[in-house]
Structure 1
Amino acid sequence: MNPEIQARFDSYPIAAKQQLERVRALILAIAAEYKLGNVEETLKWAEASYSVKGGSPIRIDWKAKEPSAIKVFFHCQTRLVATFREIYRDEFVYEGNRAVVIPLDSDIEQVPLRHCLLLALQYQRLKHLPLLGA
């Protein structure tokens, strides 16, 4: 893990840190499973950011003003969050056209987060398809 991101995660409450690490591991696992190439892991806007060539960046973070959840951020000028809202209307709480809210006690394997992350990591190839090919 990028040392700056590790330090950032370490500064959060344990439940937030663990949920962020689970989402990070899921992003890396999806990229490996689908052979999407190296995942670039950086800090952008003081948030952990993950991207692959041909994808749209994904950022994850926890905010003290909303302590019971983490957020998974997507580029607001893509169709990603609009598509997630359409196909996963009741599975998530959304923040505008930029984020999916994941409660700290949520089992990320029991919600369709994996599919959302996959669509973001393959966005350039899917962006012309209705509902991103979902």
Structure 2
Amino acid sequence: MTQIEDPAVAAAFAALPPDTRAGALALRDLILETASALPSAQPLQEALRWGQPAYLAPKGSTIRLGGHKSAPFALFVHCQSRLMGDFTTAFPDEDRIEGNRAVLFDDVDQIDPTRHGWLIARALTYHL
């Protein structure tokens, strides 16, 4: 796991319940790994948005990580983008989705590097 540079982001992760933190950190690793393979996603910024860890690429759409009322953790994308619609078209009925804004997870083992990496890559390059 790559060290969290921003103390506010580190504190936000530390404040999460253990199950939520484990899932959010696993998604963070996938975001960082995916971004490292995308020159257009550099420099990737890790910051807080709405009190949650968020990832912003120069030509991307914001990705947020955190807990959800219906699941221990979730990957959030901008609700007014086409990201979730494209994701559910490419991977129908493979995830629990909340509307056009989040993929919901009950367990770290549900994270699929291929499928969720696809969504992350699209978000990080959304405005290209």
| Percent identity (aligned) | 30
Alignment match, 1:52: 57
Q: TM-score, normalised by structure 2?
A: 0.87
Cα distance in 1 between the residues matched to 2:37 and 2:110: 20
Q: Tell me what 1:100 maps to.
A: 103
Q: Secondary structure at the match of 1:31?
A: helix
The SS at the match of 2:109 is: coil
For structure 2, the residue ranges without an aligned partner over 5 or more in a row are none
Structure 1: distance between partners of 2:60 and 2:93: 25
Aligned match of 2:119: 116
Report how many residues are paired.
Answer: 123
User: Are the counterparts in 1 of residues 60 and 126 from structure 2 also a CA contact under 8 Å?
Assistant: yes
Q: Distance in 2 between matches of 1:52 and 1:60?
A: 15
Q: Write out per-residue CA displacement over residues 68-101 of structure 1, whole angstroms, 9 at most, x where no aligned residue.
A: 4211111111100111111111111111111111
Q: CA deviation at 1:15?
A: 2.1
Structure 1 stretches of 4+ moved >3 Å: none
CA distance in structure 1 between the aligned counterparts of 2:113 and 2:38, rounded to whole angstroms: 20
Counterpart residue type for residue 114 of structure 1 = G
Asked if 2 retains the 8 angstrom alpha-carbon contact of 1:91 and 1:111, the reply is: no
Deviation at 1:111, TM superposition (A): 6.0
**Which deviations, in whole Å up to 9, do the C-alpha atoms of 1:47-76 show, x marking residues without a partner?**
11101111111011114x44x421111111
Is residue 4 of structure 1 aligned with residue 11 of structure 2?
no
What TM-score do you get using the length of structure 1 for normalisation?
A: 0.83
The answer (yes or no) to whether the contact 2:53–2:65 under 8 Å persists in 1 is: yes
User: In the TM superposition, what is the alpha-carbon distance from 1:44 to its structure 2 partner?
Assistant: 0.9
CA offsets per residue over residues 102-131 of structure 1, 9 Å max, x none? Answer: 222434236611111011111112xxxxxx
1:15, 1:53 → 2: CA distance? 31
Written as runs of structure 1 = structure 2, the 5 A alignment for 1:56-67 is 56-63=61-68, 65-66=69-70
Q: 2:19 aligns with which of 9, 15, 22?
A: 15
